[in-house]
C-alpha cells in the first residue's frame, strides 16, 4: 500500500509542478499535455484531489 501511496503522490506532484509554471493555455498542445497529466493523476488519487484537479481544468478550459 505504501508503494501505491508514493506513486499517487508522485503523480500529483508531477501535475501540480507542471501547472504551477506560467503556461500559455491558449496553445492546444499545452492544454492537451496538461489534460493528459491531469487524467493520469486523477485515476490514481483520492476524490478530494481529483476534484481539485477537475476544478483547475475547468477554470483554464483544459477539461
**pLDDT tens, 1-42?**
445 555 556 667 777 776 666 556 667 777 788 888 888 888
CA distances, 17 to each of 1, 2, 27, 62 (Å): 24, 22, 18, 16
Residue 36 domain-assigned (yes or no): yes
Residue 47 domain-assigned (yes or no): yes
pTM of the model: 0.64
Report the pLDDT value the prediction gives residue 63, as an integer from 0 to 100. Answer: 61
Residue 6 domain-assigned (yes or no): no
Residue 20 domain-assigned (yes or no): no
Residues 6+ apart with CB under 8 A from 49: 12, 41, 42
Our count of domains for the chain comes to 1
Residues 6+ apart with CB under 8 A from 62: 25, 31, 34, 35, 38, 56
Residue 12 domain-assigned (yes or no): no
Average of pLDDT values for 38-48? 85
Residue 10 domain-assigned (yes or no): no
User: 63 lies in which domain range?
Assistant: 28-63
Residue 60 domain-assigned (yes or no): yes
Residue 32 domain-assigned (yes or no): yes
Amino acid at each position: 500500500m505504501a508503494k501505491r501511496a508514493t506513486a499517487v503522490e508522485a503523480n500529483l506532484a508531477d501535475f501540480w509542478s507542471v501547472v504551477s509554471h506560467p503556461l500559455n493555455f491558449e496553445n492546444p498542445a499545452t492544454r492537451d499535455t496538461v489534460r493528459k497529466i491531469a487524467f493520469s493523476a486523477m485515476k490514481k488519487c483520492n476524490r478530494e484531489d481529483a476534484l481539485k484537479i477537475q476544478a483547475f481544468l475547468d477554470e483554464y478550459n483544459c477539461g
